[in-house]
Amino acid sequence: MIFGHDTPAGRRFDIILLTLILLSMLSVMLESVRSIYEAYGVYLKIAEWVFTGLFTIEYAARLISASNAKHYATSFFGIIDLLAIAPVYLSFLFAVRHSFTVVRSLRLLRVFRILKLTEYIGEANALRVALQASFRKIVVFLLPFFPSLSSSVH
């Protein structure tokens, strides 16, 4: 059901997942509007934790049900799934106020898998290569957000 798109249960799962992704992205967009955030910030944060919890359960279910969990975890979509949930946990663990909106928006890439558009994403490999090549620069960019880490790097 989780990996299959050809069964009624698999299609229902995909529709529910697609709806959650789109609602999550709407929440991220609304959070970026100052007046909406000031009025509804608490609710948006609660929604973010609910979405993150659901996506975490989905990620764990994919790992458990995959024929090769390591292969799935290191695949393009496995990494995207992990990156889609990691920022919220990182912002909580390191008490960072801003929760990596750009990284959270990687959830949108998950839509390509659901809509079976992966065959049209030749650029996905280019994105993976670019992220790998830029990893050190990304870490240096993110270090100011984690003062406890930057002091241990020296």
Statement: residue 104 has pLDDT above 70: no
Cα–Cα distance measured from residue 51 to residue 87, given in angstroms and rounded to the nearest whole number: 12
- As a whole number, mean pLDDT of residues 119-148 equals 67
Residue 31, pLDDT score: 84
Cα–Cα distance measured from residue 59 to residue 104, given in angstroms and rounded to the nearest whole number: 15
Cα–Cα distance measured from residue 102 to residue 142, given in angstroms and rounded to the nearest whole number: 12
Residue 39, pLDDT score: 95
Q: What residue numbers bound the domain in which 61 lies?
A: 8-117
Average pLDDT over the chain, rounded to an integer: 76
Q: What is the CATH number of the domain that holds 103?
A: 1.20.120
Is the residue at 84 inside a domain? yes
- Number of structural domains found in the chain: 1
Is the residue at 87 inside a domain? yes
Is the residue at 103 inside a domain? yes
Is the residue at 42 inside a domain? yes
Statement: residue 57 has pLDDT above 70: yes
Statement: residue 118 has pLDDT above 60: no
Is the residue at 142 inside a domain? no
Cα–Cα distance measured from residue 45 to residue 27, given in angstroms and rounded to the nearest whole number: 9
Sorting pLDDT into bands at 50, 70 and 90, what band is 18?
confident
